[in-house]
Structure formats: structure tokens, C-alpha cells
Amino acid sequence: MPTHLAVGEHRDLRRAVTVEGLLEQGLKLTTGTGGPCSGPEAALDCCVSDADCDDGDGTTLDFCEGATCGHSINPDACTSASDCDDDEACTQDSCSDGVCQYTGMIGGDCCTPGSAVLGDFDKGTQAGIYVTDNLETGIFWTVDKTRSAGGDFSLYCGDPIPQTYAIGARVKSSATTKILSIPKGGRTTVRFELYKATRTHRDYDVFQVFALRKGALFPLWSSKALPNGVTDGSWEKVQIPLDTYAGQDVQVRFVFDSVDGAEAALEGTYMDSIEIETVCQ
Ligand SMILES: [Ca+2]
Ligand SMILES: [Ca+2]
């Protein structure tokens, strides 16, 4: 157990002035949970994990984005491997948990190794990364030179003047790559450097990575995988396998969602050196 309260927990304690609030808080203290879905104001579609959003319908993909359930039509819905045949000898087609997966073969003429930089921001531009301010708060991913993992610039989700994302309101911004044609052979990985100085509660200030394919979002990675959801004052390399997208066209989407309004003037989240690599072993 942490010896201090994260900001979100502090807010929950302040909320606990009503009888209902005290009961709620008592339950939380007993179970040791807390977080965005535990308070009396939590929305019905509130979540802290993808599993919380499972609607039992194989034709939809269910995921937790920030702390809100999202559902996409599953473009790769299947019940058996034969549903997934892509007529491509260099990919092995399978059906896993109702979703088609395509794994690149290594042998024959299938695999060509290679790598490419998707974003280093060092020309001071976003260079092919498309940014959306999802909630139109004026806080969004922007090129910044306060920190970098390589070169002079990185991509920062915050206000570059006070150098914080904490405006007392929920902020959410997406940064999306161009369409990537994942090679049909070998194993492809996307990797990047992450610097995340946010609240130390994994269910707030969530940074997530998705594959965007045929209009559907597939969850790939979340900052919930980090201890306390932060990188502890240093850059950390994140590597995400795209093994199951061989021969497919995907975009990679990076999302920061504060979930609620942070008030402490924490710095926020940076990413840099986004690369993709295919290996043949
Ligand atoms: Ca195939
Ligand atoms: Ca850079």
C-alpha cells in the first residue's frame, strides 16, 4: 500500500461528507480499491480494465479507454480459423477469442527485415502524426523541447507555457500515426520512449496505445502496466508486438486521458523516438 494518498483518493475523501459517501468510503477502505469507478458519481460505463467492458457480444471489441468503456464493431470477428483466410501464404491465419489474427512466416521469401522512424519530432514538427484534442480543452499532444529521449524535441500532452496538463478539468488527446502496412512476414514491433510524470494512481492519467484498423480500436498497451502508472522521472522504452497484424494495414494511436480534472501542477506525459521494426527470427 502506498503511504500517501494519490490526488484522486484525496478527492474521494473530500467527497465523503454525506452518509452515503461515508459508507462508500468505508467500503473502499475495507477493500483497498478506490479510483474512478468507486465513488457515488461514477458513471454506469465506468471501467478500470478491458474486462470490465465485456458485453459478451463477439461482434464487438470491448475496451476501457481512460475510465470509460468503448465498443467498436469487430472487423475481424470469427468463430474459426477458416473465417480468417486472407489468401496469403506468408501469414498464418487463426481465430483467437473471436478475433482473426495474422502471424508472419519467417521462412521462404516471406520476411524482409527493416525498420523505420515514425516520429522523432526533431524538426520541431509532428511529422505525420495526427493529433486530436478529444474534449476540446486546449490541452493536446504538441511538439515540445522541454524533454526529449533523442534530438531536441518530443511530443508532449500538456500546456507548453506552464508545462502542465492539470487545468482542473478532464483532458484527453489522441496522436495517431499514418497507415502502416505491416509486413506479411516476420515479427513486427512498434517501440517508443515514454516519460510520464502524473498522479501515481494507475486508474487516473491513463496513457494508452491502440491499433486502429478498419475503424475499430484494438487495445495494445496501457500505462496501468507501469508501477503506479508513471515512469519515475526517467524515459522508459515501451515495446509493443504487432505480431498478430502481419500483412494488415493499421494505424497506431496514442491516447492520454486524465479521467478527471487534475489540480496538482504535475508536468504530464511525453513520448519520443517512435519506431517500427520487423525482424526475421
Ligand atoms: Ca494467410
Ligand atoms: Ca526527439
DSSP characters over the chain: --SS--HHHHHHHHHTTSHHHHHHHHHHHHHT--STTTSTT--TTB-SSGGGG--S-TTEEEEEETTEEEEEE-TTB-SSGGGG--S-TTEEEEEETTEEEEEEB-TTTT---EEEEEE--TTSS-TT-EEEETT-SS--EEEESS--SSSS-EEEESBTTTTB--SSS--EEEEE---EE--SBSEEEEEEEEEEES-S-TTSSEEEEEEEETTEEEEEEEGGGSGGGS-TTS-EEEEEE-TTBTT-EEEEEEEEE-SS---S---EEEEEEEEEEEE--
Centre of ligand 2 from the C-alpha of residue 233, in Å? 17
Correct CATH for 76-279 of 2.160.10.10, 2.60.370.10, 2.60.120.200, 2.40.170.20: 2.60.120.200
Q: Where does the chain hold its CATH 2.60.120.200 domain(s)? A: 76-279
Centre of ligand 1 from the C-alpha of residue 252, in Å? 22
Q: Which ligand is nearest to the CA of 146?
A: 2
Q: Which ligand is nearest to the CA of 155?
A: 2
Centre of ligand 1 from the C-alpha of residue 235, in Å? 38
What's this model's pTM, rounded to 2 decimal places?
0.85
pLDDT computed for residue 33 by the predictor? 54
Q: Tell me the residue length of the chain.
A: 281
**Residues with a beta carbon under 5 angstroms from ion ligand 2:** 120-122, 148, 150-151, 272
CA 127, CA 118: separation in Å to the nearest integer? 8
CA 187, CA 214: separation in Å to the nearest integer? 21
Confidence at 97, pLDDT banded by 50, 70, 90: confident
CB contact at 8 A, 172 and 208: no
CA 108, CA 235: separation in Å to the nearest integer? 39
How do residues 29-79 score in pLDDT, each as one tens digit?
333 357 899 888 888 899 999 999 999 888 899 999 999 999 999 998 999
pLDDT computed for residue 32 by the predictor? 38
Q: Which ligand is nearest to the CA of 144?
A: 2
Q: Which three cell numbers stand for residue 210?
A: 491502440
Centre of ligand 1 from the C-alpha of residue 261, in Å? 46
Centre of ligand 2 from the C-alpha of residue 118, in Å? 11
Confidence at 177, pLDDT banded by 50, 70, 90: very high
pLDDT at 258 exceeding the cut of 90:
yes
CB contact at 8 A, 249 and 86: no
Centre of ligand 1 from the C-alpha of residue 101, in Å? 9
Section 92-104 average pLDDT? 94
Section 198-215 average pLDDT? 95
Centre of ligand 2 from the C-alpha of residue 150, in Å? 4
Among the listed residues 136, 200, 146, 195, the one whose alpha carbon sits nearest the alpha carbon of residue 167: 136
Centre of ligand 2 from the C-alpha of residue 65, in Å? 27
The more confidently predicted of residues 264 and 18 is 264
